A and B are shown apart, each in its own frame.
Chain A
């Protein structure tokens, strides 16, 4: 699955996107898996309340299932306009 990062999440993880092989069934499990991987992910995901997630380009939440999902993106609250 393609995992993308934006704004300060991208800066903390150190890359804009990557292919992730995972058995995670929900967004939360994916976050836990990445957090356990390396400190830079732990730094990016330290405060889940400061994070938003999009699943296949739709705003979603951490309980969202990942079955058949191609793209997950993590980012801070949006500041458009």
Chain B
């Protein structure tokens, strides 16, 4: 399990390649990448991402451990950035490996659902003349309910 919380950019291709190359006995690698989406008006200057140092790493570790317990996985990589990010920059990535693809896909989706609303990050959209905290959506919370059995949250 490899968890990194950092302000520096990461190289998606290199990270995915290294992750896939170090697996043995696995048949599937799934990766997901989140990028900064421009706002509706198209004038986003940056996305400020705040986090809770210490708790962030623990919370992500707990989520990854839960995924490892639920699915037959080989390995998990999670990179999540914080700080000021420009539109189209990569915010985070998740990679999972498993003997079979369904475990890798489902675990990646589970990780994303929980990272969204159980890892202590907060996004603020900054434009030239305004700044607005991104609000959590009801559907983000609803997304957790389908994984509900046995998850501590």
Give the interface of A toward B (CB within 8 A). Answer: 4, 6-8, 54, 57-59, 73, 75-81
- Whether the pair A79, B135 counts as a contact (CB closer than 8 A) is yes
How far, in Å, is A71 (CB) from chain B's closest CB?
9
How far, in Å, is A22 (CB) from chain B's closest CB?
21
Residues of A contacting B135 in the complex (Cβ-Cβ under 8 angstroms): 76-77, 79
Residues of B contacting A8 in the complex (Cβ-Cβ under 8 angstroms): 133
Query: Provided the pairs A7-B50, A75-B52 are in contact, do residues A80 and B119 lie with their beta carbons within 8 angstroms?
Result: yes
Cβ contacts B103-140/A at 8 Å (1 or 0 each):
00000000010011111111110000000011110001
How far, in Å, is A59 (CB) from chain B's closest CB?
7
Residue of chain A at shortest CB distance from B59: A59
19 contacts between A and B (CB under 8 A): A4-B52, A6-B120, A57-B52, A57-B55, A57-B58, A58-B58, A73-B120, A75-B52, A76-B133, A77-B117, A78-B117, A78-B118, A78-B136, A79-B117, A79-B121, A80-B117, A81-B34, A81-B112, A81-B116
Q: In the complex, A78 Cα to B49 Cα: how many Å?
A: 11
